[in-house]
Amino acid sequence: MKTLIQRVKRASVTIDGELYSAIDKGLLVFVGVEKADEKVNAEKLVEKILKLRIFEDENEKMNLSVTDVQGEILIVSQFTLCGDCKKGTRPSFDNSAPLDKAIELYEYFVTCVKQSSLNVKTGKFRAMMDVELINDGPVTFWLEK
């Protein structure tokens, strides 16, 4: 399971020209599911994301987590995170999870994040989405389990 995490001032998902979901200060989390992934991968990533100290404290040090600052989280499925660009110029998606497994693990990931005390929003699985964000910093991290 791969995630791209961006600390944002705000972020939103628009589908077919209509606002689907939006957050203010918090994290935009893109999620890709691979063939070998299991629920334990989602659980470990969620734990890490909720505790990752990437928000500034009163001394401008990255010392606070999204939980500490009571930030919001927007989770967006992103199949292309699983693309392998090592050979040639066309990404290979051979390591991507089959659709049923990808949906199941993505939804499980979302369920795990929603168990936090935070406001959690999502994109729509398999939809063509316009994702807008104001990256705070910019602060961006790649996590995989």
DSSP string across 91-108: -B-TTBPPHHHHHHHHHH
What is the distance, to the nearest Å, from the Cα of residue 81 to the centroid of all Cα atoms in its chain?
Answer: 11
128, two tokens? 């063509």
123: exposed, middle or buried (Cβ count in 10 Å: 0-12, 13-18, 19+):
buried
Catalytic pick from 30, 55, 79, 109? 79
Task: Say which of 70, 80, 111, 115 is annotated catalytic.
Answer: 80
Residue 67 appears among annotated catalytic residues: no
- The packing angle between helices 39-51 and 99-114, to 10°, is 40
DSSP bridge partners of 141: 5
140 is catalytic: no
Paired residues of 12 in beta bridges: 22, 132
The set of residues, in sequence order, having a beta carbon less than 8 Å from that of 97 and lying 6+ positions away, is: 33, 34, 35, 37, 82, 105
Answer yes or no: 79 catalytic: yes
Among 3, 6, 78, 122, the active-site one is 78
Active-site positions?
Answer: 78-80
